[in-house]
A and B are shown apart, each in its own frame.
Chain A
Amino acid sequence: MTLNNKLVVSASPHDRSHKTVRSIMLDVIIAMVPALIASVVFFGPRALLVECVSVGTCVIAEFISRVVMKRSQTIGDLSAVITGLLLAFNLPVNIPLWMVMIGAVVSIVVVKQFFGGIGQNFVNPAIAGRIVLLASFPVAMSTWTAPLTWSAQNLDGLTSASPLADIHTMVSAGTTPDASLLEMLIGWRAGCLGETCAIAIILGGIYLIARKVISPTIPLIYIGTVAVIMLIAGKGNLEFVAYELLGGGLMLGAVFMATDYTTSPITFKGKIIFAVGCGVITSLIRLFGNLPEGVSYSIIIMNILVPLIENITLPKPFGTPKKSKKEAKAK
């Protein structure tokens, strides 16, 4: 009888996959490493400093808020690290560090923990943090530094325009942007820390898809939608389309931010609608808005629509007769 008292009893299934929340988050961090390396190569040691401050603030903010709220500690799931990295990836290299901290605290405390912590935030914390910073400190947030100028004595580097602004005048004025397409692809351009190197981001995306952390649905459809709209807007100018795809934060947003579990639809059809919506809004902001960049806003707008999208795209339970909807209407 002593044996019987020691047996563990739980509901089936008794076998579980090896994936845990932490292992998934670790995969995402691994996928972000190429972009992280690229940011340090192109923007120098200060890029690493910004990233460390952002990650550190996020983790500490999460730790303190869980303690204050008397909730179980969740920094071990590594999601705060991802938020910190993503936020840093969305900042220019020369942003004052105290601004980074403000962004990180807004992301973790206001957007994530106030709503219940991991899995409960209604918008992507990193994007919300970036938008708060952009609205509060527009100058610091859009002062770009040319890449590879950090090795010069002047650590501040040379300021440069974001190529995306150039691109928008490309079709109308017939000018060519400073950066060539190849430079755009490897990330030899001004921009936010993590967004410039398309190759590094694509590598990370392939890793995430291969590890089945994300499905390719959202990134492909998001980027595809922007491509189609830009093709029409650019009257068939493929070079313009390529610049649009590689410019700004589109790659970073499509691979790492629009695919955030909590703030994207669970259903397959929902993912398609979400990604198309992101693509359309991004394109509209880029083409007609005053801002050169629309990725953050488009994702955050679609984030808010996720519950509605899910409600209308729920799959029908197995075997539900196809006609039932019409019949229900007929009644």
Chain B
Amino acid sequence: MGKIHIPGVIKAVKKVRGGVKVAHHKNTAGLEVVRMPEPKQVILPMQQHIGAPCTPTVKVGDTVKVGQVIGDSDKFVSAPIHASVSGTVTAIGNVKLPGGAMVQGVTIESDGLMEMYEGIKAPHVETKEDFIKAIRDSGLVGLGGAGFPTHVKLRVPLESHIDTLVINAAECEPYITVDYRECIENSWDIYSGIRTMMEFLEIPNVVIAVEDNKPDAFRILEQIVDGDSSANGAIKIMQLESRYPQGAEKMMVQSATGRQIPPGKLPSDVGCMVMNVTSIAFISRYLKTGKPLVSRSLTVDGMAIAEPKNVRVPIGTSISDIIEFCGGFKADPVKIIAGGPMMGAAITSIDHPLSKSNNAILAFSKEDAKVFTETDCIRCGKCATACPMSLVPTRIVRNTKAKDAEALLKDGVMVCMECGSCAYSCPAKKPLVQHMRLAKAVIREAGAK
């Protein structure tokens, strides 16, 4: 703990091991978030989060308004889904997610009015229980890309006492600048969100983590924190070296507190909670207005996009509509990615709808889509040096080929977060992340037997 009590700005308590220096490509950093006009139709998949899928609560022909619940689940790990435009439900059927999985989806034909649902009002929050319930009702999931239902994260087990809230504004993925824009444009929302969290969850310390390639965001947040004497030094800003993957949850906790989350454990097991900066800002807005998560900002960039932008888009808008709003393609796209270039998924079609956790659409042309041929491993060990989790990918690859689940467990492949640092640094261009996923599948299969 120790160092956290030093007032003002802090440095990382413990430096993160490994990682890679990636080209930032923050081309859109100077572009204010613009609101995209509502699309003609949206498709809302019933699974936009980690956990149980929702079941539609509307039927074909129903008239819905913005913010109305259209899908919900009685399972704990889930988040309700709200209509993002007003209009008529025209279809309920299977839609394909960018990952390839098929889930139920609700199609809404927009009436162009964007009428708000009458039931929307600021939630009445007095206790911690009220607060967590309100967050569930808001449909919030981690907006940084993971898509974990936020209310589940907030409901920490009674025995673990959270002493530090880490606000993740690192945004270590190249290209993406929406979290940065949130810091610049909605810094007060972020701050009031932090105060709310501190109040309702009784968290004594807050660390806002920003990478040092975003001095503007850093300065603005610093001014706000310094300007509030009532915070009494409980809120610190931590400047991190710009190095991928600083923004990963385990890395964040280590940088802010020096604690390491053991394999298979959560931040709450070491007394921490990590929240994305945009999620925090959303919480504060929701508590004021009661408007659930029906739209989100994302970065649209890449050499194939005519007018790269940061846009605020109703959830469920098709990716092709978003690209059209950004001027369409100026070059033939070779690869389109939902998310950042390090951890995002290459999509097979631009007909996919935008989901809650999707923070970027990147369309690469021939110039920036990197397609390499794989060569033989030379055992250079760059993968092992780059791994922030201290794994040795060369061994994992070998044990995966041998389908040796026991050895793979020993190699610790389950702590792999698929950040891609190993594959990034591999001179033989091995698809190492794919190997890591295969390794996990080998372990799961062995467990199933």
Contact = CB atoms under 8 A, between A and B. Distances in A.
Interface of A: 3-4, 6-17, 19-21, 23-24, 74, 77, 79, 117-120, 261-262, 266-267, 314-321
A320 B412 contact: yes
Nearest to B21: A17
5 contacts: A13-B424, A15-B22, A117-B376, A315-B391, A318-B412
Interface of B: 17, 20, 22-23, 174, 250, 260-263, 265, 332-337, 341-351, 362, 364, 369-372, 375-382, 384, 388-392, 394-395, 411-412, 415, 418, 420, 423-429, 431, 433-434, 437
A11 B425 CA distance: 15
Contact of B378 (A6, A7, A10, A21): A21
A119 B377 contact: yes
Given A317-B412, A319-B265, A12 B392 contact: no
A16 B372 contact: yes
A7 B334 contact: yes
A317 B424 CA distance: 20
Contact of A21 (B343, B375, B423): B375
Contacts of A118: 376, 378
B344 A12 contact: yes
B379 A77 contact: no
A14 B175 CA distance: 12
Contacts of B412: 316-318, 320
A16 B370 contact: yes
B347 A17 contact: no
Contacts of B370: 14-16
B115 to A, nearest CB: 34
Contacts of B380: 24, 261
Contacts of B426: 16-17
Contacts of B22: 15
A320 B263 contact: yes
A267 B333 CA distance: 40
A16 B337 contact: no
A228 B342 CA distance: 46
Contact of B379 (A4, A7, A23, A119): A119
A25 to B, nearest CB: 9
Contact of B337 (A14, A119, A262, A320): A14
Nearest to A268: B385
A67 B180 CA distance: 54
Contact of B350 (A3, A15, A120): A3
Nearest to B419: A13
A222 to B, nearest CB: 17
A317 B17 CA distance: 12
Contacts of B369: 8, 14
B414 to A, nearest CB: 8
B379 A317 contact: no
Contact of B372 (A20, A119, A317, A318): A20
B378 A12 contact: no
Pick from B17, B261, B362, B378 the residue with the most CB of A within 10 Å.
B378
A119 B263 contact: no
Nearest to B348: A9
A314 B410 CA distance: 10
Contacts of B345: 12
Contacts of B347: 7, 9
A15 B316 CA distance: 27
Contact of B346 (A14, A17, A20, A77): A14
B332 to A, nearest CB: 7
B378 A261 contact: yes
B390 A315 contact: yes
Given A15-B341, A266-B392, 13 more contacts: A7-B333, A8-B371, A10-B431, A11-B423, A12-B344, A13-B424, A16-B370, A19-B425, A20-B427, A119-B428, A262-B378, A316-B390, A316-B412
Nearest to B351: A4
B174 A317 contact: no
Nearest to B260: A319
Contacts of A23: 427
Contact of B425 (A4, A17, A261, A319): A17
Contacts of B423: 11-13, 16
A218 to B, nearest CB: 12
Given A15-B23, A19-B427, A7 B335 contact: yes
Contacts of A119: 376-379, 428
Contacts of B418: 12
A117 to B, nearest CB: 6
A6 B332 contact: yes
